[in-house]
Amino acid sequence: MPPRSRKQAKAEAVIAALGDTPEAAELAEFVRGLAAPAEPANPNVAIRANAERVDRVKDKAESSGETVTAVLSRGIQRFLDGDLLVDQPARARRGAGGNNATLNVRPAAELITRLKDHCTAAAGQLGWPIKPANVYAAILAEYDPAPPADDQADDAG
């Protein structure tokens, strides 16, 4: 089988130079291990959200001793289990997005795959094209509910 990368090709060249001794066989195994492709890491998921919410979510997760990745992973699992409902997002006016920031998390790759598959399947049942971003938004909204609008706060108090 031909080498798959330059790193593996160089490893095979080193192995060929070692010769056919018992020590060379042991070294060859070690060199092949060094040249083997690394296990894929959990992919980065970049979530765009309101900058203030991103800061509050980070602070809340840190103060409770957990990571934002753990918060999102738990929320994704709740969605997959049917315990988190996701509302169809209302279309915002152009330019009404406000000050956004990116929240970077690394949930398990298998969890993201299941989420994407579930969204595809759920889109037919819901009648709207649900996407993982809609699920992330629902998780963040539940974890960090929006403060009441000024006029609602005045009515309440």
Q: Residue 3: pLDDT above 50?
A: no
For 71, counting Cβ atoms within 10 Å of its Cβ (0-12 exposed, 13-18 middle, 19+ buried), the class is buried
Which is more confidently placed, 32 or 67? 67
Model confidence pLDDT, tens digit, residues 113-139: 999 999 999 988 888 999 999 999 999
Residue 79, both tokens? 């969605």
Q: Residue 152: pLDDT above 50?
A: no
pLDDT attached to residue 96: 64
Q: Residue 156: pLDDT above 90?
A: no
With cut-offs at 50, 70 and 90, classify the pLDDT of residue 8.
Answer: confident
Q: Which of 24-28, 60-64, 128-132, 150-154 has the lowest mean pLDDT?
A: 150-154
* Cα distance between residue 91 and residue 15, in whole Å: 60
